Copies of this chain bind each other. A is one copy, B any other.
Amino acid sequence: MRNNSQLKLSFLGGVGEVGKNMMCMEYGDEMIIVDCGVSFPSDNMPGIDLVIPDFSYVLKNRHKVKAVVITHGHEDHIGALPYLMQELSCPVYASRLSAALIDNKLREHKKKFKTTTVKNGTIIKAGVFTIEFVKVTHSISGSMAIAVTTPCGVWFHTGDFKMDFTPIDGQPIDLIRLAEISKKGVLLLTADSTNAERPGFSMSEKKVGATLDGLFAQNKQKRIIIATFASNVHRIQQILDLCEKYGRKAVFTGRSMQNVCETASKIGELRYNRENITDVNSLNKYDDDKICILCTGSQGEPNSALSRMANGEFPKVEITNNDYIIFSASAIPGNEKEIGEVINLLYKKGASVIYESLAEVHVSGHAYQEELKTIQSIIKPKFFVPCHGEFRHLKAHANISMDLGKPERNIVIPDLGDSITITPNSIKKSGTVPAGIKLIDGLDISSANGVVQRDRMQLATEGLCVVVLTISSKNYTLTSKPDIVTKGFIYANDNANIIEDAKDLVINTIINANFKHNDWNIIKDTIRKSLGNLFFKNLKRRPIIIPIIVPTV
């Protein structure tokens, strides 16, 4: 090991935010990338479908990239991978389920690529990096931590994880293997901070199964409808097992529920008897008490199966007072209102509705404080960098590490775009790399979409006023009465007066300005100002004003 050897860890997403996780680790001229996820558009991004990380830093260094490593198959870890791989041609490693979900995504993208599957204990070489995959438990199966041996020492990254010692697949996190890795000495730990504010230990996924079992037993006469995350294969496995136990046919509804279940079943991650599955078209063949519908929509998403059922818009599933509906999920912050609205609609149709505040029908997939302490205590890293979380979560996670005795100087809390330099003896922030967001709207990743978004927000809050002026190219006077078209500003039928006033003002403005040259921009600015004043004075509004000049001879 050379004394001047150093690692550079850069965060392109997943810190200072929940979502679009992506980081890259460099040593000299070699780089590996861990995850490449999306986040969802916020309220001030109208019309945007997806948000992906700005990965221009990776593209600028594309010659360095030895591998992309995927920890698990959630959208916030794989969603942007197809966009990245349009531009790269390095190996991609992922567990079997993650790889299958990545393959599903490629249907919608031009460039295809192959993902190499790995499992617990798989070791791969990527340049100077030797990467061992270590199975962890999380709310999707096939979740991996990675232990990366580098020329500077070992880097352990948890990925998203929790410590479930009674997982549905019977394979808990391998503490013995973690201890072996620890004994060789871990230089750096990066770990999931999502639940660093929550005291205690998260409940096992099995607990949800026990609760659901009770609800199935208590509601034998009713039709049961369960909304959950399509990717939570173990949750779905438990529900399918209960369907078998209670003699109900399971029905998958919602596109992602159908896709994921089919995919997971093909690779053996989900096990069920085909005879116990039916579809919505066959619902009329069965009594309510013989059916359990699994659907998407636990977050109140407007186009999901459950929302459409609640609105009476889902063909062949009509909600009645004999429906027992379970939200087997918790609200992702920001979705509370939409979820509440769906619950109200279901209640109005007479259904019974059960959600997290009424019964233990969901557990988190992320480690709580005592689990985080357990990982730190077994991995015993020299340096610690909390990741995957808003600043408050990273800060809480850093506090946990300090409570365990780690000196503050051995901890770095990263921000988006930060690079951290790690040597065998030191850790420090060492500058920034380009990082941020790219917006996906339809087919477009526009470099200037910030401008477009700003205009959209202005159009949305204030509306628009187009003024058409026909102006003589000879003497710069109006050759006909100006025309005014508004959208999202005022309802013209109710406001004929103000439109007439505006036209008169435009005429007078042009006369008074007495333009002597055809600098259309000056004329446009003059019109914008005088109309802007009129509207604000009379209506307290500031629409976007677009003057259009048609020169005439």
Contact = CB atoms under 8 A, between A and B. Distances in A.
A466 interface: yes
A333 B344 contact: no
A539 B446 CA distance: 11
A358 B443 CA distance: 44
B491 A449 contact: yes
Interface in A301-337: 333-334, 336-337
Contact of A488 (B16, B43, B455): B455
Interface string A526-545: 00000000000011110010
Q: Is the interface of A mostly helix, strand, loop or mixed?
A: mixed
6 contacts: A340-B392, A443-B538, A447-B494, A452-B463, A466-B466, A468-B550
A452 B47 contact: no
A539 B442 CA distance: 6
A201 interface: no
Contacts of A494: 446-448
A184 B456 CA distance: 61
Contacts of A337: 42, 333-334
A460 B46 contact: yes
Contacts of A495: 446
A353 B395 CA distance: 11
Given A442-B541, A491-B446, A348 B463 contact: no
Q: Which size bracket describes the interface of A in this complex?
A: 35 or more
B491 A448 contact: yes
Contact of A340 (B390, B460, B463, B480): B390
Contacts of A466: 466, 546, 548
Given A357-B197, A459-B463, A487-B464, A344 B446 contact: no
A485 interface: yes
A343 B452 CA distance: 29
Given A459-B463, A460-B457, A548 B485 contact: yes
A42 B489 CA distance: 18
B441 A541 contact: yes
A390 B344 contact: yes
B444 A490 contact: yes
A320 B296 CA distance: 45
A493 B540 CA distance: 33
Interface in A438-488: 441-444, 446-449, 451-453, 455-464, 466, 468, 470, 480, 483, 485, 487-488
Interface string A330-364: 00011011001001110110000100011000000
Which of A16, A344, A468, A539 lies at the interface centre, i.e. has the most chain B CB atoms within 10 A of its CB? A344
A391 interface: yes
Contacts of A462: 47
A391 B340 CA distance: 10
A56 interface: no
A552 interface: yes
A222 to B, nearest CB: 17
Given A333-B340, A334-B336, A466-B548, 9 more contacts: A340-B392, A344-B390, A344-B392, A347-B391, A444-B540, A451-B491, A452-B490, A456-B461, A468-B550
B463 A47 contact: yes
A417 to B, nearest CB: 14
B470 A550 contact: yes
A548 B480 CA distance: 14
Contact of A464 (B353, B459, B491): B459
Contacts of A444: 490, 539-541
A99 B469 CA distance: 52
Nearest to A535: B442
A446 B495 CA distance: 9
A387 B488 CA distance: 35
Nearest to A346: B392
A341 to B, nearest CB: 8
Which of A336, A392, A468 lies at the interface centre, i.e. has the most chain B CB atoms within 10 A of its CB? A392
Contacts of A47: 460-463
A194 B480 CA distance: 60
